[in-house]
């Protein structure tokens, strides 16, 4: 209908131009009439925007989406493709659609909002590589709707709005400066017009004590890696170690070895990191505990602890065939440095194996 209206308007304009030429003919010479016609036609052509040339290129889906038979969301769905599926962008159709080709050769149409270009492909690959070989620090579930982004912060583009109940693995904690005005936050709104991030932080008594936002680098069940606002989620540690330390919150845990109990079988032992509740410590955690299984007491006990201004992640370490772990903590006197300390299990105890200064890549903790 819109195309038909434009065509009718163009025909009417040409007709008026010709009528004007005929009316002017007795009043002017032929040369003046031709000049007038050229000027009017030039103005008419100037109002018609030429179709921009589209260069075919590679793309990738930002989330699971449908490939339609035509450039219409109500048309037949040819195929459903998962997030991070490579597609070849054949052409742009209208303002909102791409004609794409999938790997099996089929072609169809997808909404432009669910497809990213080369820059997105690079960022997704970087995120996947960043967690290769890194142990999972914690597991959790979304307690409210949450925006999933490829970079931490409220300004980066939203890849998808995830629903409550979505499970994830956590690898890293990142801090950004909080925006002073909620109205400047990008993204969909939460209750009472707030952003999802503002709405999630509203009930947190500590959220107004410091101007920081905390984000977790997570891996979703479909293997996508990105960032989610910390207040939209809750961590789900094993039940028997969740309340080992009162008045503190567990932020990470890792199985490091196991104890054979004649009556209960093999029981995992954990390194667990804790932080104060409702307080910004300027780091990721302040206490590190070794929570082991006691075959005598038939329960878990804290058999080793360390106070430090720790920075995630906690990684694996091995020396002379002995298993262990490595931690990073804030340097006591150099703001641009961290200390990397490694520990091993030896004869039933935990001993420090090495310690060195390393650069601190983050400006905030």
Alpha helices in 202-323 (DSSP H): 239-242
CA distances from 344 to 302, 303, 313 (A): 17, 14, 17
CA angle 81, 85, 91 (to 5 degrees): 90
pLDDT digit string, tens, across residues 52-110 = 788 999 999 999 999 999 999 999 999 999 999 999 999 999 889 999 999 999 999 99
Q: 171 pLDDT exceeds 90? A: yes
Alpha-helical segments (H) within 217-266:
239-242
How many whole angstroms separate alpha carbon 84 and alpha carbon 219? 13
Range scoring the smallest mean pLDDT among 137-141, 183-187, 304-308, 310-314: 183-187
pTM above 0.85, yes or no: no
pLDDT digits (tens, 9 = 90+) for 300-351: 999 999 999 999 999 999 988 888 999 999 999 999 999 999 999 987 789 9
| DSSP code of residue 195 | B
Find, among 151, 63, 53, the residue nearest to 111 by Cα.
63
Confidence of residue 205 (pLDDT cuts 50, 70, 90): very low
What span, in angstroms and rounded, lies between the C-alpha atoms of 75 and 68? 6
What pLDDT digit, counting tens, does each position of 221-261 carry?
Answer: 999 999 999 999 999 998 888 877 888 999 999 998 889 99
Which one has a higher pLDDT value, 138 or 192?
Answer: 138
The pair of structure tokens assigned to 171 is 């690898």
Q: Which residue's entry shows tokens 């936050």?
A: 185
- pLDDT averaged over the chain? 84
| Residue 30: band (very low, low, confident or very high) from pLDDT cuts 50, 70, 90 | low
User: In this predicted structure, what is the pLDDT of residue 321?
Assistant: 86
Residue 266 has pLDDT above 60, yes or no: yes
Beta-strand pair 285-294/65-68: unpaired
Instruction: Look at residue 170 in the predicted model and tell me its pLDDT.
Output: 98
Is pLDDT of 218 > 90?
A: yes
Predicted pLDDT at 86 = 96
- CA-CA distance, 75 to 82, in Å (whole number)? 19
């Amino acid at each position: 209908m819109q195309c038909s209206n434009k065509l009718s308007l163009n025909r009417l304009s040409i007709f008026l131009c010709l009528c004007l030429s005929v009316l002017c003919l007795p009043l002017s010479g032929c040369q003046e009439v031709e000049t007038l016609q050229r000027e009017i036609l030039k103005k008419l052509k100037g109002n018609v925007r030429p179709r921009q040339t589209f260069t075919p290129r590679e793309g990738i889906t930002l989330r699971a989406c449908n490939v339609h038979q035509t450039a219409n969301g109500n048309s037949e769905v040819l195929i459903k493709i998962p997030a991070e599926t490579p597609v070849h962008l054949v052409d742009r159709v209208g303002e909102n659609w791409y004609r794409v080709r999938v790997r099996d050769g089929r072609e169809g149409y997808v909404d432009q909002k669910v497809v990213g270009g080369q820059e997105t492909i690079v960022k997704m690959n970087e995120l996947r590589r960043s967690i290769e070989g890194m142990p999972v620090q914690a597991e959790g579930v979304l307690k409210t709707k949450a925006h999933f982004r490829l970079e931490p912060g409220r300004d980066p583009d939203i890849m998808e709005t995830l629903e409550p109940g979505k499970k994830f693995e956590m690898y890293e904690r990142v801090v950004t400066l909080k925006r002073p005005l909620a109205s400047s936050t990008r993204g969909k709104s939460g209750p009472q017009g707030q952003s999802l991030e503002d709405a999630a932080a509203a009930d947190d008594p500590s959220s107004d004590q410091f101007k920081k936002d905390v984000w977790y680098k997570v891996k979703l069940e479909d293997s996508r890696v990105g960032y989610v606002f910390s207040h939209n989620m809750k961590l789900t540690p094993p039940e028997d170690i969740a309340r080992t330390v009162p008045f503190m919150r567990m932020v990470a845990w890792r199985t490091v070895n196991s104890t054979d109990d004649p009556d209960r079988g093999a029981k995992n032992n954990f390194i667990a990191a804790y932080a104060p509740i409702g307080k910004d410590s300027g780091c990721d955690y302040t206490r590190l505990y070794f929570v082991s299984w006691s075959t005598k007491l038939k329960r878990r006990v804290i058999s080793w602890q360390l106070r430090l201004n720790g920075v995630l992640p906690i990684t694996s370490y091995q020396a002379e065939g002995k298993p262990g772990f490595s931690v990073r903590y804030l340097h006591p006197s150099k703001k641009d440095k961290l200390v990397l300390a490694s520990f091993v299990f030896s004869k039933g105890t935990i001993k420090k194996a090495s310690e060195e200064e390393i650069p601190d890549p983050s400006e905030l903790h």
